[in-house]
């Protein structure tokens, strides 16, 4: 009997201990989940704080503090123009992309009881930009300051305020991509005409009334390689008028190098009387380089100006730079003839 009482007592003790463990375990799981949920970022609905139709924007300007860049543009006849130089060809499609980012801003949160502007990087903003637009026939202007980057609810954000308001927002940081552009990032460069090395037929140097022609493959390969030294990003001027041509030493009397090659093109019966179906034929094309005088490149070095006439006989808008070594080697290709 005594042994039975001890067994019963031991069983009750084990049962109580098990119940305690269950209660403690459940309590632990509850508290862990409770505090985990409590530390999650608070979900908030975004609020649109700036919304201007892109098509209504007539002018914009921006400043990038870090890069010390300040640029302004306006729109004429649906074309964006650089205020400081109306001749500069701009990447028009980039303005469409930029406007889609900077004219619609969503706030992640509004800063409650804000401290000084310095706390948000708004005393010396990383970026500022101004948008001029038409609304119901009236011209409007909004200027915005963009400060420090921050995160909220797992989203990348940036502090923003309008210059005519004290309210500070943390907006989604979708605005800074194009505000990092400097002047050259907006320049719409040309694509230099391609030259087919394997089908080059001849090259000519026209100097006054004298023409020197070469056809040997070694010289043509050399001229092809030298032509590849030209770089569409290394230009003397991005537009051409009489003053630019005169400064570049380019005229009808300038030395002219002609590089002729063949290329297969598709033709049909309307273009070729002997063709009954669409076929390819070898067609001759010529790229021309009009060599100018000595000019300075962007780095201040002395180079030669060159004007390019493509295979369609269209003169490119840009005047390009050719280094002195390439210039001398090109001319030497005709000297031994």
Side-chain-facing half-sphere of 267: CA atoms under 13 Å: 15
Please report the pLDDT score of residue 16 as a whole number: 58
Please report the pLDDT score of residue 133 as a whole number: 97
Please report the pLDDT score of residue 17 as a whole number: 55
What order of strands is seen across the sheet that includes strand 127-135?
47-51, 104-110, 169-172, 155-162, 138-152, 127-135, 57-64, 69-76, 79-82
Please report the pLDDT score of residue 270 as a whole number: 55
Structure tokens at 145: 């300051």
CATH architecture of 197-335: Sandwich (2.60)
The arithmetic mean of pLDDT across residues 202-218, rounded, is: 97
Q: Please give the model's pTM, rounded to 2 decimal places.
A: 0.75
Query: What's the rounded Cα separation, in Å, for the pair 52 and 131?
Result: 9
Please report the pLDDT score of residue 1 as a whole number: 44
Give residue 149's pLDDT band: very low, low, confident or very high (50, 70, 90): very high
Of 16-20, 69-73, 205-209, 238-242, give the lowest mean pLDDT range: 16-20
| Percent of the chain surpassing pLDDT 70 | 83
Please report the pLDDT score of residue 6 as a whole number: 46
Instruction: Write out pLDDT tens, residues 286-337.
Output: 999 999 999 999 999 999 999 999 999 999 999 999 999 999 999 999 996 5
Side-chain-facing half-sphere of 176: CA atoms under 13 Å: 20
Instruction: Write out pLDDT tens, residues 63-84.
Output: 999 999 999 999 999 999 999 9
Mode of pairing for the β-strands spanning 256-267 and 279-296: antiparallel
Enumerate the domain spans of the chain. 47-186, 197-335
Give residue 152's pLDDT band: very low, low, confident or very high (50, 70, 90): confident
pLDDT over 80 (residue 21):
no
Look at residue 184 and give its three-state secondary structure.
helix
pLDDT over 80 (residue 269):
no
The arithmetic mean of pLDDT across residues 178-196, rounded, is: 95
Q: Which residues pair with 107 in a beta bridge?
A: 47, 171
Please report the pLDDT score of residue 24 as a whole number: 54
Please report the pLDDT score of residue 256 as a whole number: 98
Structure tokens at 210: 């004298």
pLDDT over 70 (residue 255):
yes
| Percent of the chain surpassing pLDDT 90 | 73
pLDDT over 80 (residue 38):
no
Give residue 41's pLDDT band: very low, low, confident or very high (50, 70, 90): very low
Task: Calculate the alpha carbon distances from 151 to 64, 124, 162, 189, 303 in Å.
Answer: 21, 20, 20, 37, 50
pLDDT over 60 (residue 101):
yes
Please report the pLDDT score of residue 237 as a whole number: 96
Please report the pLDDT score of residue 19 as a whole number: 58
Give residue 281's pLDDT band: very low, low, confident or very high (50, 70, 90): confident
Higher-confidence residue: 43 or 213? 213
């Amino acid at each position: 009997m005594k042994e039975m009482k001890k067994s019963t007592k031991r069983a009750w003790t084990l049962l109580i201990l098990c119940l305690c463990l269950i209660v403690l375990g459940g309590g632990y799981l509850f508290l862990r989940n409770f505090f985990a949920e409590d530390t999650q970022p608070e979900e908030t609905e975004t609020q649109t704080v700036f919304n201007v139709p892109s098509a209504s924007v007539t002018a914009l300007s921006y400043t990038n503090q870090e890069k010390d860049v300040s640029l302004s543009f306006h729109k004429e006849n649906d074309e964006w123009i650089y205020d400081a130089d109306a001749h500069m060809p701009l990447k028009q499609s980039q303005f469409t992309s930029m406007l889609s980012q900077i004219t619609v801003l969503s706030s992640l949160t509004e800063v409650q009881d804000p401290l000084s502007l310095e706390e948000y990087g708004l005393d010396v903003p990383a970026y500022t930009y101004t948008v001029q637009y038409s609304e119901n026939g009236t011209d409007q202007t909004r200027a915005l300051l963009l400060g420090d980057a921050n995160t909220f609810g797992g989203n990348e954000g940036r502090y923003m305020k309008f210059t005519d308001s004290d309210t500070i927002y943390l907006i989604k940081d979708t605005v800074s991509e194009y505000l990092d552009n400097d002047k050259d990032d907006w320049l719409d460069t040309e694509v230099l005409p391609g030259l087919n090395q394997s089908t080059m037929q001849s090259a000519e140097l026209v100097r006054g009334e004298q023409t020197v022609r070469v056809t040997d493959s070694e010289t043509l390969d050399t001229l092809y390689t030298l032509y590849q030294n030209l770089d569409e990003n290394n230009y003397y001027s991005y537009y051409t008028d009489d003053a630019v041509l005169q400064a570049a030493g380019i005229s009808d009397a300038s030395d002219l190098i002609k590089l002729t090659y063949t290329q297969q093109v598709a033709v049909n019966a309307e273009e070729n009387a002997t063709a009954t179906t669409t076929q390819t034929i070898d067609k001759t094309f010529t790229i021309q380089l009009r060599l100018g005088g000595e000019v300075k490149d962007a780095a201040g070095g002395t180079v030669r100006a060159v004007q390019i006439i493509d295979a369609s006989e269209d003169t490119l808008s840009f005047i390009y730079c050719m280094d002195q070594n390439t210039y001398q080697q090109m001319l030497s290709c005709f000297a031994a003839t």
